Structure 1
């Protein structure tokens, strides 16, 4: 997958921190042995073939009422090396264009997930935008997304726990999952780390971390204080991993990787206490057997966010809290190979968040695998 449009200063400032837990500069062969590279190609091809064969006659996947799944599948195919000119991808892109609304958003007309669907669609169009044909579509969608962000336009001040965040769309309360998609979509549209919208989003992201600091003075910050991230501090606070007896919001894996990745996008450096605490949480909970704190729920979303975060951090070998070095790319390939079905698809036995849908789970798996070529 193409490198994110981050400035060099934001990336280079991570090197000292990463040296404590990462081994870099090794030959590609040692980071991803030839046998594992062959396995990667094999399971990618099988996953791509499954998605090509499962496309509906109208160019979508699953159903027309959830274009976010189709946009995610389209992005996964493009990032797996399928060109925009491929008949399946071209048909999908043409169909997604039909969801472009007059307000610039890209969503199903009756949808309550307008932020999510627009963000994912921007990623699909960006991945296909080699000749600039989607420039105006992306820019109009970017403007739409900025209007959805919770800020002064919604009549709230920066002290409000919803400030800077993004929800599914409409008047839904903001959460870290949708906010990370917002940040990435803005980045794809060309926004830099110092963009006001991304800096506002950073305020929200910081408040989803279990870390008491000047960046997070919410009542949840000190109750767990483990450096991990949870779903949202807004509207009374929610963690999909549940609460502690005293009302603390439990940290979990997918949101912690999402939070750390979002901070990188926003230019937060390795000396920042938020980054250090998040990195330590990940070191203590490194695994590919589950979504830490959630068991098997959201597992494929976790794989995707795990891979994207470590790739964005320029991590090749990751050292866990016990001192064990992990070739995370090789381990991720091995784990996904073991979970792939005979027809090339992936799916989650846990139905929550639609992951039992093989189109969605396979899209997440292929996106995770797209980060498994050793960083150059």
Structure 2
């Protein structure tokens, strides 16, 4: 009898857990749909200018990012707002294949965002030529032997804002997003070169990183660039080491996975180790509120790329990262559906850009449906 009772009790407990899990999933889905719907409505009815842009002063970049976020949430190329935005973006397609404003100093950044946007809009092949030529253009901007660089140089394999700017992890991360969007094989030479640069942005001394910065702060996190004397937006330690910060560490982790690095690789393990110590959604660890919404979309992309539904922090706490991110974003959404960062650094005072970031983060954290 006692055995039967214990079995029944176990069954009831499991049933209760299952019901609670289903209820949580249903709640997540409802909050997700409401948050997405409000953001999409804001972008398509309030934020877009008459010419189809979302920030014409920023050239094509913001419009490409926002339009990609709409496409990732089910809007089609025939949707009026999307169609207007794509028409606006097409005027920036240059003879060399790049998608950038004339005289731009941000050709890689703008074109990579354009590639992701047009690739998302290209289900019927109508933008094949634009995507193919833009793909070749950004590959040509990657720092390699064409710039007189060898694998021994810290710039090798990276991408910057353009030819006149040293490469950095943020731009290289956008490059990898673009390469993935065009179906570039992780074993391609472009991916391999990018991985060399990405590995050198990590505070981890290994066969992949023998730069002078890695051993000074071997915490496994990532910084902005090993080029031009080494740069971290989070600053340096008293010993001159480059500080790691979360948005770049998630960007580094995502980029390594996109380039085919597996979970048992020492670089991935070290990055996850740093993130376990710095799991947070209230801030961009290492940077406070600066770049917070950029951080959210790198957070979501990276954790989705790991293939794991949960993330266990240093204290052993298991996080349903999708559920937590959805709740955090929902709590930060304005009544009109927009998002904006009170810290305006890196253009995060622009509601269109920030709402686009939020939608991208949501696209990569969609709750699983049973």
- The TM-score normalised by the length of structure 1 is 0.91
Structure 1 residue 65, shift from structure 2 partner:
4.1
1:121 maps to what in 2?
A: 114
Match for 1:44 among 26, 31, 36?
36
> What is the CA deviation profile of residues 19-66 of structure 1, one whole-angstrom value per residue up to 9, with x for unaligned ones?
xxxxxxx99964952122111111111111111121000000122542
1:268 maps to what in 2?
A: 261
1:60 maps to what in 2?
A: 53
Distance 1:35 1:163 in 2: 47
Match for 1:354 among 333, 347, 350?
347
Matched, 1:199 2:199: no
Aligned positions of 1:318-357 closer than 5 A: 318-357=311-350
Matched, 1:34 2:26: yes
Gaps of 5+ in 2: 1-17
Structure 1 residue 299, shift from structure 2 partner:
0.2
Note the aligned Cα RMSD (angstroms): 1.5
Structure 1 residue 170, shift from structure 2 partner:
2.6
Distance 1:127 1:251 in 2: 32
1:138 maps to what in 2?
A: 131
Match for 1:252 among 245, 254, 258?
245
Q: Which has the higher contact order (CA 8 A, sep 6+)?
A: 1
Structure 1 residue 69, shift from structure 2 partner:
0.3
Counterpart secondary structure, 2:94: coil
Larger radius of gyration: 2
Runs of 4+ in 1 over 4 A off after TM superposition: 26-32
Q: Quickly say closer, same or farther: Cα 1:58–1:309, change in 2 above 3 A.
A: same
Structure 1 residue 313, shift from structure 2 partner:
1.0
Q: Paired residues, what number?
A: 351
- The TM-score normalised by the length of structure 2 is 0.92
Distance 1:27 1:96 in 2: 47
> What is the CA deviation profile of residues 287-310 of structure 1, one whole-angstrom value per residue up to 9, with x for unaligned ones?
101001000000000000000111
Matched, 1:165 2:154: no
Structure 1 residue 188, shift from structure 2 partner:
1.2
Counterpart secondary structure, 2:314: coil
Gaps of 5+ in 1: 1-25
Matched, 1:294 2:287: yes
